[in-house]
Amino acid sequence: MKVSIIGTTGYGGVELLRILNQHPVFQIHSIHSTRGEIPIWEEYPHLYGILNERIQVIDFDQIGEESDLVFLATPSGVSRKLVKELANKDVKIIDLSGDHRLQNSLDYSQWYKLEPAEDVVVDQAVYGLSEWNEHDIESASLIANPGCYATAALLGLGPVAKEELIEPDTIIIDGKSGTSGAGKSLTKGSLYAEVNENFKIYKVNEHQHTPEIEQQLRSWNKHTKPITFSTHLLPITRGIMTTIYARLKTNWSTEQLLELYRETYNKHPFIRIRPLGNFPAVKEVAGSNYCDIGLHVDERTGRVTIVSVIDNLMKGAAGQAVQNANILYGLDQTSGLDFMPLYP
């Protein structure tokens, strides 16, 4: 199975290389970027002697003829154009950007401040939240890979949202992400001296993953109300934690909720529900495709606190993309994804 990657030199792209280079079925056929036709190791010296591929310019015809599957590790606003070019080619597409996630193009315009993809394209895109959308992913031709924050938040909220155990207007998601999520673009805010020993909130009530989370919540519970969602920048490279707060409709104990979570995710190898009293830390999933979840019900307030962590480049991007590719081709979901967390 031959795959191409467009946007290889970003952090999501190079994480795809790490996974696919050892994947038992998918084979890296070509890598593309606008960075120039250089060997990939010149951009990423850690690949020296391991991956000798040259970056190629993007030739849609060639990709269409030679590859079975294309990963778009390109920014929002770019993927949309690439998908159009690849529309009539015989390739399946997994898009890591936000361009095809929102069914309502007005949401896209408003939150992304970019021109949306055409409705006809978005309509055939399948939202690739692997654990909750497996059936549709199996037969998709275009997969909109979820956002990193959205993945952590939705996997954490899924069971209580779907079972309608929480009051729909009380959901607050406090998100924290490592800086690799911001990609490699050269901005003052991504400089070491600005991020190091620092912690910032950003895009207050304006983060573009908000409508994506709300859309999925609505698919679970049509009474969903607007959520409060905050995002903060952690002085680490990899990792996302979402700390989620909501008021329970009825008295469930912590142990009862944990049991619900264990049942819900029983067949899903990448979700680990922590035992009572145990909460995950972001480093405990670093380099792996796991999403770890812990929770606690506070009887004083009637609220549940749910904590979910992922590696934003893995389960939050490249890892989930390959997981979706595995589903798409009927492989075991863990194929090529059996990385243990790198600890310490």
Restricting to residues 310-339, name those near a copy of itself by CB under 8 A. 338
Contact region with a copy of itself (CB under 8 A), list: 18-26, 114-122, 135-143, 323-331: 18-26
Q: For a copy of itself, which is the closer residue by CB, 128 or 280?
A: 280
- Give ∠ CA 17-269-337 in degrees, rounded to 5: 15
Neighbours of 193 (CB within 10 A): 8
Taken in order 202, 172, 196, 240, the sign of the CA dihedral is negative
Q: Which residues, numbered 286-305, are part of the site for a copy of itself (CB under 8 A)?
A: 286-287, 292, 294, 296, 298, 300-301, 303, 305
- With tokens 């997994």, the residue in question is 94
**Residue from the set 1, 2, 25, 44 that interacts with a copy of itself by CB under 8 A:** 44
Q: Which residues, numbered 45-64, are part of the site for a copy of itself (CB under 8 A)?
A: 45-50
Q: Which residues, numbered 195-214, are part of the site for a copy of itself (CB under 8 A)?
A: 195-202, 204-205
* Amino acid occupying residue 39: P
Contact region with a copy of itself (CB under 8 A), list: 23-31, 88-96, 130-138, 179-187: 179-187
Residue 255: Cβ-neighbour burial (10 angstroms; 0-12, 13-18, 19+) = exposed
**Residue from the set 61, 135, 139, 192 that interacts with a copy of itself by CB under 8 A:** 192
Rounded to 5 degrees, φ, ψ at 4 are -115, 150
Element (H, E) at 261: helix 254-264
Q: For a copy of itself, which is the closer residue by CB, 12 or 98?
A: 12
- Per annotation, catalytic residue among 148, 171, 310, 314: 148
Cβ 272 to a copy of itself shortest distance, Å = 5
Cβ 147 to a copy of itself shortest distance, Å = 18
Contact region with a copy of itself (CB under 8 A), list: 97-105, 131-139, 180-188, 328-336: 180-188
**Residue from the set 96, 227, 291, 318 that interacts with a copy of itself by CB under 8 A:** 227
Q: For a copy of itself, which is the closer residue by CB, 137 or 321?
A: 321
Q: How far apart are CA 147 and CA 236, in angstroms?
A: 19
- Give ∠ CA 218-78-314 in degrees, rounded to 5: 60
Q: For a copy of itself, which is the closer residue by CB, 60 or 108?
A: 108
Residue 163: Cβ-neighbour burial (10 angstroms; 0-12, 13-18, 19+) = middle
Cβ 156 to a copy of itself shortest distance, Å = 12
Active site residue 148: yes
Contact assessment for residue 252 and residue 314, using Cβ atoms and an 8 Å cutoff: no
Considering CB under 8 A, how many residues would be counted as binding a copy of itself? 80
Q: How far apart are CA 183 and CA 198, in angstroms?
A: 18
Distances (CA, A) of 292 to 42, 244, 262, 283: 35, 14, 11, 11
| Residue from 36, 49, 29 nearest 9 by CA | 36
Cβ 145 to a copy of itself shortest distance, Å = 20
Q: Which residues, numbered 138-177, are part of the site for a copy of itself (CB under 8 A)?
A: 169-170, 172, 174, 176
Cβ 40 to a copy of itself shortest distance, Å = 12
**Residue from the set 236, 249, 268, 329 that interacts with a copy of itself by CB under 8 A:** 236
Q: Which residues, numbered 113-142, are part of the site for a copy of itself (CB under 8 A)?
A: none
- With tokens 């991020």, the residue in question is 195
Question: What six digits make up the tokens of 40?
Answer: 């990939």
List beta partners, residue 201.
Answer: 232
- Residues labelled as active-site residues: 148
